[in-house]
Amino acid sequence: MIAVVTDSCASIPPNLVEALRIEVVPYYIHRGNETLRDLVDVSRDEFFRWLPTADKLPTTANPGPGDYLEAFARAAERADGIVSIHMTSKGSGAYQAACVAQEMAKAQLPGVKIEVVDTLQVSMVHGWAAIEAARAAQAGAPLDQVIAAARHVADTGWMIQTADTLKYLYMGGRIGRAKHLVGTLLNVKPIIGMEEGIIIPMGQARTRSKAFAKILELMHQRGAADGPIKIAVTHVAVPDRAELLLEMVKQAFDCRETLISELSPALGVHTGPGMVGVNYFPLSAG
């Protein structure tokens, strides 16, 4: 039996976490003198109501090797193999921390095979990688096939999102190659994506409706119309916008599975309220 471990920034809907028995390790949020565990000590609703009022942006920290080792030990109680799946190593230290835990586990969990996957992705592309891996594991797939399921999503998936502002990404130091957009986009909706593990600019629009249309155009350009896809629409505190965007996507593409997911606080702190985006990947051949 194979178990899947990931972390809270994957932003996987809770019902899927439970059904697929995914071990989720919380990130940390440092807010003033408080240290909060993502989705454990702080809820999405409370955090995203508070965030626009903050004078100073909270900082976030990935789990440490000890956190992942504890998750590996829990997973090892029911599995003899573990696949640990993480967001881009170019934006977080989670992958490196899990690799350290993997080495520690060789002595503490002998006989348990652990593989660590750097998705070079973020948000629900990272989440989809964990979901598809966990589904393969539940179907009885061996370790290499579980890893392959995660790698397919990581290698073919796209995250494209728009927000009311790039302020939060800029303040949090996660702006990547989109930094030049910050000073020029007053009253313009920026559109960003991820490529090779780094945030990149993908366009801009004057209105939200035009931003959504641009996202669909970008999806067309990046293979979404070439065959069936699975898609998650992510958002931060704007479920109505997420529903609207998902309906547009469903009308434009062959969507075999759809989800709406709100980002976890540790990830949403970098986008701020108002973000909405698509996270999709093509189904494997056959």
Asked if the structure places residue 39 within a domain, the reply is no
Regarding whether 143 and 66 lie in a shared domain, the answer is yes
Over the range 104-117, which residues count as b (16 or more CB within 10 Å of their CB) and which as e?
A: bbeeebeebebbbb
Q: What is the pLDDT of residue 177?
A: 52
Widest pairwise Cα distance in the chain: 57
- Rounded-to-integer distance, Cα 255 and Cα 239, Å: 19
Regarding whether 162 and 135 lie in a shared domain, the answer is no
Regarding whether 191 and 143 lie in a shared domain, the answer is no
DSSP letter at 38 equals B
Regarding whether 278 and 235 lie in a shared domain, the answer is yes
Query: Residue 244: which domain range?
Result: 158-282
Q: What is the pLDDT of residue 179?
A: 53
Half-sphere exposure of 145 (CA within 13 A, CB side): 11
Q: How far apart are the first and last CA of the chain?
A: 25
Regarding whether 178 and 97 lie in a shared domain, the answer is no
Regarding whether 119 and 188 lie in a shared domain, the answer is no
Is residue 125 within 8 Å of residue 87, measured between CB atoms? no
Q: What is the pLDDT of residue 6?
A: 98
Where a domain ends, among 109, 125, 156? Answer: 156
Q: Which residues of the chain have pLDDT under 50?
A: 183-185, 286
Regarding whether 96 and 189 lie in a shared domain, the answer is no
CATH value at residue 173: 3.30.1180.10
CATH value at residue 114: 3.40.50.10170
> Rg of the chain's alpha carbons, rounded to an integer?
18
Residue 14, C-beta contacts closer than 8 angstroms, at least 6 positions apart: none
Q: What is the pLDDT of residue 8?
A: 98
Asked if the structure places residue 167 within a domain, the reply is yes
Regarding whether 200 and 112 lie in a shared domain, the answer is no
| Number of domains making up the chain | 2
Q: What is the pLDDT of residue 56?
A: 86
Regarding whether 115 and 90 lie in a shared domain, the answer is yes
Where a domain ends, among 99, 127, 156? Answer: 156
Asked if the structure places residue 215 within a domain, the reply is yes
Secondary structure of residue 222 in the 3-state scheme: coil
Where a domain ends, among 139, 156, 173? Answer: 156
Q: What does 25-54 look like in DSSP terms, one character per residue?
A: E--EEEETTEEEEBTTTB-HHHHHHHGGG-
Count CB neighbours of 205 within 10 A. 17
Regarding whether 196 and 148 lie in a shared domain, the answer is no
Q: What is the pLDDT of residue 51?
A: 93
Asked if the structure places residue 55 within a domain, the reply is no
Query: Could you identify the residue written with the tokens 């000590």?
Result: 41
Q: What is the pLDDT of residue 246?
A: 98
Regarding whether 21 and 110 lie in a shared domain, the answer is yes
- For the chain, helix, strand, coil in percent to 5 are 45, 25, 30
Is residue 97 within 8 Å of residue 66, measured between CB atoms? no
Q: What is the pLDDT of residue 173?
A: 59
Asked if the structure places residue 120 within a domain, the reply is yes
Regarding whether 231 and 176 lie in a shared domain, the answer is yes
Asked if the structure places residue 43 within a domain, the reply is no
- Rounded-to-integer distance, Cα 252 and Cα 192, Å: 20
Q: What is the pLDDT of residue 163?
A: 86
Asked if the structure places residue 47 within a domain, the reply is no
Asked if the structure places residue 22 within a domain, the reply is yes
What are the tens digits of pLDDT across the range 162-212? 987 766 766 655 555 555 555 444 567 889 999 999 999 899 898 999 999
Query: Could you identify the residue written with the tokens 């970098």?
Result: 270
